[in-house]
A and B are shown apart, each in its own frame.
Chain A
Amino acid sequence: MTPLLLSASSISKSFEGVSALRRVSFDLREGEVHALVGENGAGKSTFIKIVSGAEQPDEGSLVVCGRSIPHMTPALARSLGIAVIYQQPSLFPHLTVAENLALALESGSVWRRVDWAARHRRALELLEGTGAAIDPQRLAGTLSMPEQQIVEIAKAIGADAKIVIMDEPTASLMDHEVERLFSVIGMLRAQSGGVIYISHRLEELFAVSDRITVLRDGETIVTCDTTAIDRPTLIQTMVGRAMAESAAWQPRAAGDVALELRGVSNRSLGIHDVSLHVRRGEVLGVAGLVGSGRTELAETLFGLEPADEDRGEILVHGAPVRIDSPSKAVSLGIGYVPEDRRQHGVVLEMPIASNASLASLEAVSSRGLIDRAAERQSAQGYVDRLRIKAPSTSVEVGTLSGGNQQKVALARWLSIEPGILILDEPTQGVDVGAKAEIHALIQELAGRGIAIVMISSELPEVLAMSDRIAVMHAGTLSGVLSRDEATQDRILALALERSPEGAR
Chain B
Amino acid sequence: MAAFKGHAREASIAYAIAALALVLAVAAPGYFSAENLSDLFLANLPVLLVAIGMTLVVIAGEIDISVGATFAICGVVAGALAKAGAPVLLACAAACLLGAIFGALNGALVAYVGIPSIVVTLATMTALRDALRWTTEGAWVQDLPPAFQWMGLTQRQFPYVVTAVTVLLTVAAAWSLRHLAAGRAIYATGSNQLAARLAGLNTSALKCMTFSTLGALTGLAAVLNAVRFNQIPSNAGIGLEMKVIAAVVVGGASVTGGTGTLLGTVLGVVLLAAIGPALTYLSVSAYWERALQGAIILAAVAADGLSHPLFKRVAGTLQPSGGGRGRRARGAA
Contacts and interface: CB of A to CB of B under 8 A. Distances in A.
Specify whether A and B are partners: yes
Contacts of A73: 200
Contact of B258 (A89, A93, A98): A93
A74 B332 contact: no
Contacts of A192: none
A103 interface: yes
B3 A96 contact: yes
B190 interface: yes
Given A92-B187, A92-B196, A103-B199, A142 B2 contact: no
Contacts of B310: 268
B182 A111 contact: yes
B330 A398 contact: yes
Nearest to B258: A94
A78 interface: yes
A499 interface: no
B181 A94 contact: no
Interface centre among B6, B194, B318 (most CB of A within 10 A): B318
Interface in B182-241: 182-185, 187-188, 190-192, 194-202
Contacts of B6: 139
A74 B309 CA distance: 40
A142 B1 CA distance: 18
Given A92-B192, A95-B187, A348 B181 contact: no
A114 B179 contact: yes
9 contacts: A54-B197, A93-B192, A94-B191, A110-B180, A139-B5, A142-B314, A142-B317, A167-B333, A342-B330
A95 B197 contact: no
Interface in A18-55: 45, 52, 54
Contact of A92 (B1, B5, B323, B333): B323
Contacts of A112: 180-181
Determine the interface band of chain B, counting residues with CB < 8 A from chain A: 35 or more
B75 interface: no
A117 B330 CA distance: 34
A364 interface: no
Contacts, number: 135
Given A93-B322, A95-B188, A110-B181, A120 B200 contact: no
A103 B193 CA distance: 13
A438 to B, nearest CB: 20
Given A89-B321, A139-B6, 17 more contacts: A45-B333, A52-B198, A78-B200, A84-B198, A86-B198, A90-B194, A92-B192, A93-B321, A94-B258, A102-B184, A107-B200, A114-B179, A136-B2, A142-B314, A142-B317, A342-B330, A344-B320
Contacts of A182: none
Contacts of B318: 93-94, 139, 141-142
A74 B182 CA distance: 18
A91 interface: yes
B188 A92 contact: yes
Contact of A103 (B1, B184, B257): B184
Interface in B288-333: 309-310, 313-314, 317-323, 330-333
Contacts of A104: 199
A180 to B, nearest CB: 22
B259 interface: yes
Interface residues of A, number: 53
Given A103-B199, A110-B180, A139-B5, A93 B331 contact: no
Nearest to B183: A114
**Most A Cβ at <10 Å: residue of B180, B197, B322:** B322
For B1, B182, B332, B333, which residue has the most chain A Cβ atoms within 10 angstroms? B333
Contacts of A92: 187-188, 191-192, 195-196, 258, 323
Contacts of A343: 320-322, 330
A357 interface: no
A113 B191 contact: no
Contact of A86 (B178, B190, B201, B333): B333
B2 A108 contact: no
Interface string A75-106: 10110000010111111111110110011101
A94 B330 contact: no
Contacts of B1: 116
A339 B206 CA distance: 34
B182 A91 contact: no
B331 A108 contact: no
B331 A88 contact: yes
A75 B198 CA distance: 8
Nearest 6 A-B pairs (CB), nearest first?
A94-B258, A141-B318, A75-B200, A90-B195, A92-B191, A110-B182
B333 A91 contact: no
Contacts of B185: 103, 110
A87 B198 CA distance: 14
Contacts of A78: 199-200
B2 A88 contact: no
B2 A94 contact: no
A443 interface: no
A496 to B, nearest CB: 26
A348 B199 contact: no
Nearest to A342: B330
Contacts of B201: 103
A393 interface: no
A90 B192 contact: yes
Given A90-B198, A93-B258, A111-B180, A141 B2 contact: no
Contacts of A167: 333
Contact of A94 (B259, B309, B320): B259
A157 interface: no
A137 interface: yes
B194 A114 contact: no
Interface string A46-71: 00000010100000000000000000
B321 A140 contact: yes
Nearest to B185: A110
Nearest to A87: B333
Contacts of B254: 94
Contacts of A348: 330
A90 B192 CA distance: 8
Interface in B1-37: 1-3, 5-6
Contact of A91 (B259, B309, B321): B321
Given A74-B198, A108-B181, A114-B179, A103 B188 contact: yes
Contacts of B190: 94
A202 B332 CA distance: 24
A114 B333 contact: no
Given A94-B187, A95-B187, A106 B3 contact: no
A74 B5 CA distance: 31
A445 to B, nearest CB: 27
Contacts of A98: 2
Contacts of B183: 114
B75 to A, nearest CB: 31
A137 B192 contact: no
A141 B323 contact: yes
Given A94-B258, A94-B259, A120 B195 contact: no
A120 B331 CA distance: 27
B258 A268 contact: no
A179 interface: no
A305 interface: yes
Contact of B197 (A74, A84, A136): A74
A366 interface: no
- Which of A95, A108, A136, A148 has the most C-beta atoms of chain B within 10 angstroms of its own C-beta? A95
Contacts of A106: 181
Interface in A307-349: 340, 342-344, 348
